[in-house]
Structure formats: structure tokens, C-alpha cells
Copies of this chain bind each other. A is one copy, B any other.
């Protein structure tokens, strides 16, 4: 299979696939005599794994880490699970930050709306955005 068909089967672009090879997420492809990359079916599985892992919030660096362990024959499921756990922690932290930011904006917005619009034309002077807490 050539890179175009692999791209079709995975929904990725050829650019992205070459990029993944460049950063080591997928191994260097076999080449046809003319220099074209030649893939077998396992490439599809590997790229699907990459997509799933990205959808789960893992970075390409982390994915590369998992896959290189696997390529060395290491048992990696435990590693994947601990990465997922730390991502859940990270997501919780992001959720907290976002909720905090939302509360702050709502507070600012509510306070600003209670001011007389005629007296509030300059957001610096009337402190539309100043945080009180």
C-alpha cells in the first residue's frame, strides 16, 4: 500500500503520515524500488492507535514513548494506563481552571451591567474588567 491509500484508509493526510514518521511516532517505512513508501496493514492499526490516543488527550510525544517501548518488546499497557490516569488528573485541573475563569467573568460581567451605561464608556476608567476578589 502506498502513502495515499494509507491516508485514505486512516483519514489522515499524507503530510501528517510523513510527519509522524519524521518524529518517530511510526517507524521508517519500507520503500519500493522507486523510493515510494510501502505499507502493510499493520500501519493502519498503528495509525488508528495514534488517533485514538490523541483523542484521549495524549500528546504525540507520549504516544511515541508508548510505541517505542512496545517496539522494544516491553509490556506497555500498564504504562498506557498510568498515562491515562495522569491525564485524568490533568483534565480535572483544567476543568477547575476553566470553572474559576468562568465564575470570574460572570462576576465581572454582572457587576458591570449594574453600572449606568451612560457613565461607563471607558473600560479602563470605569474598571469594567477590574477583579475585586
Contact = CB atoms under 8 A, between A and B. Distances in A.
How many copies of this chain are found per oligomer?
2
A60 interface: no
Given A70-B124, A121-B77, A123-B76, A84 B108 contact: yes
B128 A80 contact: yes
Interface of A: 45-46, 48-49, 52-53, 55-57, 66, 70, 75-78, 80-81, 84-85, 87-88, 91-92, 94-95, 98-99, 101-102, 104-106, 108-109, 112-113, 115, 117, 120-124, 126, 128-131
A93 to B, nearest CB: 10
A70 B56 CA distance: 43
A52 B88 contact: no
